[in-house]
Structure 1
């Protein structure tokens, strides 16, 4: 399966995966509005040898087949102050 990857023009480190280049037919209009104008990044061939950062290619294929898109959000930022306080025994 071939999929296209787009980055958000509005949200840093936010990516949208769709089954084909320019195929946003399954993406809710509200999501596209919040995402902003999609900026094409690349196309990927999803096969068992493909390594993705946050899931397997098979998981991505299943998600695209079921929902028609996948939204990848950035991981939550670590609260460094909270981590430091915890290391010092503070709460």
Structure 2
């Protein structure tokens, strides 16, 4: 991939699953997204538009993979982060137990 390459995309989230995001090439154009994926986004909520490029890394995704997926399949699906330990499994110091 050309280091200077940039690609615009729109990012959506779903109320159905926290941390699941869908990147598409154009806002409100889900024509390249398979029905199985769209079932997870019954009411896609637009989060923001983004200009992807090699010099702007993403927090949780490899920007090169996102660009490649947008170019080859027309969308990118960002899965939720791996489950972390729930807050109720954290042992609190005795001083915090009222």
RMSD across aligned positions (CA): 1.8
TM-score, structure 1 normalization = 0.76
Greater fraction of residues in helix? 1
Runs of 4+ in 1 over 3 A off after TM superposition: none
**Matches of residues 34-53 of structure 1 in structure 2 within 5 Å?**
34-53=40-59
Hey, what does 1:5 align to over in structure 2? 11
Hey, what does 1:88 align to over in structure 2? none
- Which structure 2 residue ranges, 5 or more long, are not aligned? 1-6, 87-98
- Which structure 1 residue ranges, 5 or more long, are not aligned? 81-91
Q: Which of these two proteins has the greater Rg computed from alpha carbons?
A: 2
TM-score, structure 2 normalization = 0.72
